[in-house]
Amino acid sequence: MLNLLKNKKLRIWGIGAVVVVVLVVVGIRFSSARASTSATSASAKVVSLDVAQTVDASGSLNAQPFAALDWKTSGVVESVNVKAGDLVKKGDTLLALQPSSTSSSIVSAKSDLIQAQKDLEDLTNSDTARAQAAVDLKDAQDAYDKAKNYRTSLNGKTWLQRLTYTYIGPKMISVIHWVRAYADPTTIANADRDLALKNAELEDAQRTYDRLKDGPNAQDLAADQAKVDAAQATVDMLSIIAPFDGKVLSVDNQVGDLVSTGDLSVNVADMNHLYVDTDVDETDIAKVKVNNQVSATVDAVPGLTLTGQVTAINPVSEVISDLVKYKVRIDIDPPAEGTFLPLGTTVNATIQVKAPTKTLAVPISSIQNDSKGEYVWVIKGDGTTVRVDVVSGDIVGSLVTVTGNLKEGDSLSTQSSSGSRTPAAGQ
């Protein structure tokens, strides 16, 4: 009886050195009994196959990156610049709203953006600020030096102004006299306060100059750039803008549509970077390695075969329908230009986990089974047959791989009984 319950999964790359057979059938062990008493003469040959071990998996087709772009404000659609299937570049304006149909704060952001961009450009390209800082530093130094000299002069006798009053006729007038004397406490205190102020102003001017002497300060640049970015973000609320190079998959709006914040507008994806996240059973995960080659079919496009490779294996398991599974990511090679590939469609992947090796195979019909196990009848040159014990492996179409004392080209009987049988040695 033939055991048809094999769990191995193989890919056939060739018969001998010529024929390549792609294995897409999961190998199963022989489990059903088969008996035949036909006396009709029938024979077959032992053949050699190049067999690659595989693991089958499936998942949904995705693109990286993918974006579902929605509106950030409400308004009326003024322009639609793309249609499904168009290729776009990062920064392209795909759709835009009528400015008058949105809030006044968004409209005013345009002028804010212009001013912020000008300020940033002036800071980046103009030398005016640095030149002015140098002038301010010199003026502050001169003022400090003058205040310091004056305060120093008050430490001893100095020429001081004295104000007296006199009358010329009925009119009183003031008269300034210069006298050499010691300054009074009030004059000294005022001079100290003025010197301290001039010193603080000098330090401020020095810090400003130090910040600008080697070009725009990083903090100033960051602050001005932040103002530009904030204004730009507000202005961008009027438009749907491509966030990366890619292909437009769908456009949900037409000119004149009234849209609200959060409404979906465009789906865009990079269709040159496709991938599939699959779930591989715990019994197979140890066989799978990064860079294993993959061939795949797509449910939505019959007849299409894709290629790719394993790029990541998550070592942490998940329990799905009471089965332990491991997430395996497969990157799909870019398809031919113009190929229709809907995202989300089921992809059936065959992962090659072992390189093709030469293996003997026989027709399924030649395998016999009794209480001692599986065997075949080898037809000798004189027409007699001899029993050879074998162990069946994996089904490949109408063939099954076997191990045993056989060689390529041996003739086998496909009858379940024969008129002249020779037991194997030791039986």
Tens of pLDDT, residue by residue over 112-143, are 777 767 777 776 765 677 788 889 999 999 99
Answer yes or no: are the C-beta atoms of 397 and 363 closer than 8 Å.
no
For the ranges 48-62, 156-170, 317-331, 391-405, the one whose mean pLDDT is highest: 317-331
pLDDT at 126: 59
Q: Which of 34, 8, 11 is nearest to 21 (CA)?
A: 11
Task: For 252-291, write each residue's pLDDT tens digit.
Answer: 999 999 999 999 999 999 999 999 999 999 999 999 999 9
Say if domain 66-102+237-269 classifies as CATH 2.40.50.100.
Answer: yes
pLDDT at 227: 78
What does the longest C-alpha to C-alpha distance in the chain come to? 167
Domain ranges of the chain: 10-57+356-422, 58-64+270-348, 66-102+237-269, 124-228
Q: Does the pLDDT value for residue 305 go beyond 60? A: yes
Kindly report the number of other CB atoms within 10 A of residue 211's CB atom.
17
pLDDT at 36: 35
Output the pTM of the full model.
0.54
Q: Which CATH number among 3.40.630.30, 3.10.690.10, 2.40.420.20, 3.40.50.1970 corresponds to the domain 10-57+356-422? A: 2.40.420.20
Contacts of 342 by beta carbon, 8 Å cutoff, 6+ apart:
61, 300
pLDDT at 310: 96
pLDDT at 119: 72
Q: What are phi and psi of 254, to 5 degrees?
A: -130, 160
Between CA 209 and CA 214 the distance in angstroms is 9
pLDDT at 416: 63
Mean pLDDT of the chain: 81
Q: Tokens 């075969």 appear where? A: 305
- Residue 12 exposed, middle or buried by CB count within 10 Å (0-12, 13-18, 19+): buried
Say if domain 124-228 classifies as CATH 2.60.40.
Answer: no
Question: Who wins on pLDDT, 146 or 178?
Answer: 146
pLDDT at 139: 94
Contacts of 172 by beta carbon, 8 Å cutoff, 6+ apart:
165, 166
Task: For 179-197, write each residue's pLDDT tens digit.
Answer: 787 888 888 899 999 999 9
Q: Does the pLDDT value for residue 215 go beyond 70? A: no
pLDDT at 417: 52
Q: Does the pLDDT value for residue 25 go beyond 50? A: no
Kindly report the number of other CB atoms within 10 A of residue 199's CB atom.
15
Q: Which helix (H) or strand (E) holds 166?
A: strand 158-168
Q: Residue 273 has what DSSP assignment?
A: S
Estimate the crossing angle of helix 104-125 against helix 218-236, to 10 degrees.
150
pLDDT band at 40 (very low <50, low <70, confident <90, very high): very low
pLDDT band at 394 (very low <50, low <70, confident <90, very high): confident
Contacts of 366 by beta carbon, 8 Å cutoff, 6+ apart:
44, 376, 377, 412, 413, 414
Q: Which CATH number among 3.30.230.20, 2.30.110.10, 2.40.30.170, 1.20.1250.20 corresponds to the domain 58-64+270-348? A: 2.40.30.170
Answer yes or no: are the C-beta atoms of 330 and 275 closer than 8 Å.
yes
pLDDT at 354: 84
Q: Does the pLDDT value for residue 35 go beyond 70? A: no
- Residue 222 exposed, middle or buried by CB count within 10 Å (0-12, 13-18, 19+): exposed
Pseudo-torsion of CA 306, 307, 311, 316, nearest 10°?
50
Between CA 50 and CA 63 the distance in angstroms is 34
